[in-house]
Structure 1
Amino acid sequence: MKLVTIFGGTGFVGRYVARRMAKQGWRVRCACRRPNDSPFVRTYGVVGQVEPVFCNIRDDESVRATIRGSDAVVNCVGVLSEGGKQTFKALQQDGAARIARMAKEAGVERLVQISAIGADENAPSDYARTKALGEKAVLDAFPEAMIVRPSIIFGHEDEFFNRFAGMARMAPLLPLVGGGTKFQPVYVDDVAAAIEMGVVGKAAPGIYELGGPDVSTFREWMQEMLAIVKRRAMIVNTPMPIARLMGRGFDGVKKLSFGLISPPLTLDQVRNLGQDNIVGEGVFTFADLGVQPTSTEAILPDYLWRFRPSGQYAGSNESAEHLHANQVKGGENRAGFS
């Protein structure tokens, strides 16, 4: 039975990859920082098939020991904001380089690296810049690697639609930064399907940009979300100059609190939100994999229902209201004929 090691295998994307590889009959090693907190991955296969293990990707020996015996390696590690030693450079650049180098030394057959659309060495944000430098380091060490660049990823555990739906439930205002920025949300299991093809050798090496079937602005995606959760909220776009000031202020609060206070917005995120996040040209896409991406309308109602005023009973309440209205209307019609 072949073995795949998934760095970040208990995270949002990693768990979907782990589940798919277990179904393929592979042994799965989910490398993470807190394996004792992630027993759920064991249920993806038979006893002993999927195992969470400890790994610190900032340490050579830890990564080398984790990769040992692997036929394939997937790196899902990434952060949207920095904290302590978990910096963009340490994880997305140096960590990616370390994993690729150790994988090549160990004779691993295939390597899949998760990056992000917008990865650019000259990008204004550290997040996008370190993603690009991580890609370069991976390809230098492991030229035949598959690089996957997804747009905003959505799914039951996402931190995008869930986050804003939660905000809409609590307040009448929905503040946005970069309301006109274009996004192409991609379903998490579609991303996992692409990674699976890379692991089993059904995808050619190279860079793949993965986006869903629809492109809309940030504001338009929030309007769709509000329609699904059946809530009204005023969408307010924060001008970029003000957003940058807010980002700097929140960064200062985080620094003064020694990282104890997690800011709702950072300056680096503001810079990233100023760039469109859609599939570009000159790269492989889902079409090259034969994968038809899933639409948001097919998935979002499955997990955003809990943010509706009546939760899972919203549909039942609507049906009851319609039935009552029809009964009243029918009664009036009958009265008119009597």
Structure 2
Amino acid sequence: MIDCLEGQFGKALKNFADGGARLLAAASGAGVRKAVVLSIINCDQSNAAFYVSKADKERVYENSALETVVVRATQFHSLVTAVFQAAAKIRLIPVFKGARFQTISPLDVASELLAEAMGEPSAERHRTRTIGGPDIRTMRELAEIWLKATGRSGRIVEVPLPGAMGKYLRNGLNLVPSQRTGTDTFESWLAKREDSL
């Protein structure tokens, strides 16, 4: 079983870990031997609500009777793209001060999730695996690449990102330089989506 369910807002966020427990119980009852869950790199080191909920869900998986694998990924290419697209309407492209990203393609993540789910049983009952994109870049560099790839114009503006998420990014907790698993760079991912950007 592969669990990619999200719970970012309101009741879904509050009950995120409980949903994971119910899914694991159903999987166990159906005779599933292994459960793989998608998570976020270093989510247990952030106080941001969504990241706390991800860490809570990881703990549910670690306490399961099933063999489990938590796959922690860096942020998707689409995350920074969404930030740029939302602001491009007013021709300002925000980049978070001090932020670097190691974005990864959802297809690369899906391949790793599938490999874990279909792999042979492990001697370890519960494992955590970390995967990251092929490149580490500043948010400004990603914005410049996005502007060039989309043909849009806009002024890149550096803005502070306060709170737990800002601290997480400034401390580089979203990076895993030793685990460059993905092969689809931000540029190649954008090129494949040229018509939809």
TM-score band, normalised by shorter chain: 0.7 to 0.9
Query: Higher RCO, 1 or 2 (CA under 8 Å, sep at least 6)?
Result: 2
Q: Report deviation, 1:125.
A: 1.2
Aligned with 1:165 (options 85, 102, 109): 85
The aligned residue for residue 154 of structure 2 is: 233
Alignment map for 1:114-129 (pairs within 5 Å): 114-120=38-44, 122-129=45-52
Stretch deviating more after TM superposition (214-223 or 142-151): 142-151
**Which residue is 1:182 aligned to?**
100
2:193 corresponds to which of 295, 300, 303: 303
- CA 1:143–1:180 in 2, change beyond 3 Å: closer, same or farther? farther
Cα deviation digits, residues 155-182 of structure 1 (max 9, x gap): xxx35314513532x2221123x33222
Aligned residues: 193
Aligned equivalent of 1:112 = 36
Instruction: Give 1:270 deviation, angstroms.
Output: 5.0
Structure 2 length-normalised TM: 0.82
Change in Cα spacing, 1:141 to 1:152, as seen in structure 2 (3 Å) is: same
CA distance in 2: counterparts of 1:146 and 1:108, whole angstroms: 13
Q: Distance in 2 between matches of 1:239 and 1:112?
A: 35
Cα deviation for residue 195 of structure 1 reads 1.2
Q: What do residues 114-147 of structure 1 show as CA deviations (whole Å, max 9, x unaligned)?
A: 1111211x52212222211211111111462111
Aligned pair partner of 1:196 in 114, 117, 124: 114
Runs of 4 or more off by more than 6 Å in structure 1? none
Q: Which residue of 1 aligns with 2:54?
A: 131
- Letter of the structure 1 residue corresponding to residue 46 of structure 2: A
Amino acid at match of 1:161: T
CA distance in 1, matches of 2:119, 2:187: 31
Unpaired runs of 5+ residues, structure 1, are 1-72, 245-267, 308-338
1:242-281 equivalences in 2 (<5 Å): 243=162, 273-276=169-172, 277-279=174-176
Q: Do the aligned residues in 2 keep the contact of 1:209 with 1:280 (CA within 8 Å)?
A: no
CA displacement at 1:76 relative to structure 2: 0.5
1:306/1:129 Cα in 2 relative to 1: closer, same or farther (>3 Å)? closer
Tell me: CA distance 1:103–1:296, structure 2 relative to 1, closer, same or farther (3 Å). same
- In 2, are the aligned partners of 1:180 and 1:219 still within 8 Å (CA)? no
Q: Secondary structure of the equivalent of 1:186?
A: coil
Structure 2: segments with no counterpart, 5+ residues? none
CA RMSD of aligned residues (A): 2.7
1:146 aligns with 2:146: no
Aligned residue in 2 for 1:8 = none
Alignment match, 2:15: 90
Q: Give 1:294's aligned amino acid.
A: D
Match of 2:137 in 1: 216
Task: Assess if the C-alpha contact under 8 Å between 1:150 and 1:211 holds in 2.
Answer: yes
Aligned partners of 1:187 and 1:212 also within 8 Å: yes
Query: Is 1:78 matched up with 2:12?
Result: no
Partner SS for 1:107:
coil
Higher deviation after alignment, 100-109 or 204-213: 100-109
Partner Cα distance (2:37, 2:102) in 1: 20
- Comparing 184-193 with 226-235, greater Cα deviation is found at 226-235
Which protein is bigger by CA-based radius of gyration? 1
The CA distance in 2 between the partners of 1:192 and 1:126, in whole Å, is 25
The DSSP-based 3-state class of the residue aligned with 2:134 is coil
Percent identity among equivalent residues? 26
